[in-house]
Amino acid sequence: MINVSKLKKGLVIDHIAEGSGYRIFRQLKLDQLEDVVVLMRNVPSQKMGKKDVIKIENHIDLDLEVLGLIDPHATINIVENGNRVKKIRLALPKRVEGILKCKNPRCITQYEKVDAPIFYLSDEESKTYRCSYCDSPTHFQGGE
């Protein structure tokens, strides 16, 4: 068992579904941080069997939209002086901006530059979002 020391100050993204940790790491561009970042995979969990955990030794602005999209069941703990001071539960965002890309070949966003396309959640279960321009459905796969 590898031991990772307890955080004094920072963020813990906990209860990440097994295997999603790396996707979150990549989508949040955590490799570009200068702070200490630890990605733990396949951590034993009573509730989940196995889970992924990410620890960041600083208070950074996390993109909750991205996190909610990849894993709406993950939680974020804010740690101060070694104690958890706040816990944030995530949810699938109703509206995402600049994360998804429309797959409709007839959509204007395939031809014109749109900085941050907006999508609206249309079906929570299947994580289906609709393009705000052409209304076509897009299923979030996590690889965008």
Partner 1 sequence: MTAVSESLIQYERLERLTHKGHSVFFCNGLLRQFLTFLDFQERSFFVSIFNFAQRGKEGGFIMTGRHLIEPRDFTVEELEKIFQLAEQILDAPERFLDACKGKLLATLFYEPSTRTRFSFEAAMLRLGGSIIGFDDPNASSTAKGESLSDTIRTVGAYADAIVMRHPREGSAKLASESSHIPVINAGDGGHQHPTQTLTDLLTIRQEKGRLNNLTIGVCGDLKFGRTIHSLIRAMDRYEGIKFVFVSPEELELPTYVKEEIEQAEYVETRDLEAVMGELDILYMSRVQRERFVSEEEYLRLKDTYILNPEKMELAKEDAMILHPLPRVNEISVEVDKDPRAKYFEQAHYGMIVRMALLMTVLGVKEND
Residues that bind partner 1 (CB under 8 A): 64-65, 94-95, 97, 104, 106-114, 118, 120, 122-123, 130-137
Closer residue to partner 1 (CB): 6 or 95: 95
Give whole-number Cα distances, 59 to 37, 86, 101, 106, 125, in Å: 12, 12, 29, 42, 31
Q: Among residues 21 and 117, whose Cβ is nearest to partner 1?
A: 117
Q: Provide, rounded to whole angstroms, the least separation between the CB of residue 27 and partner 1.
A: 16
How far apart (Å, rounded) are the C-alpha atoms in residues 73 and 127? Answer: 13
Q: Which C-beta is closer to partner 1: that of 16 or that of 62?
A: 62
Q: Which residues pair with 80 in a beta bridge?
A: 83
Question: Cβ closer to partner 1: 19 or 98?
Answer: 98
Alpha-carbon gap, residue 115 to 27, rounded angstroms = 17
| Least distance in angstroms from the C-beta of 51 to partner 1 | 26
Distance of CA 44 to the CA centre of its chain: 21
At closest approach, how far in Å is the CB of 60 from partner 1?
A: 15
Smallest separation (angstroms) from partner 1 to the CB of 72: 16
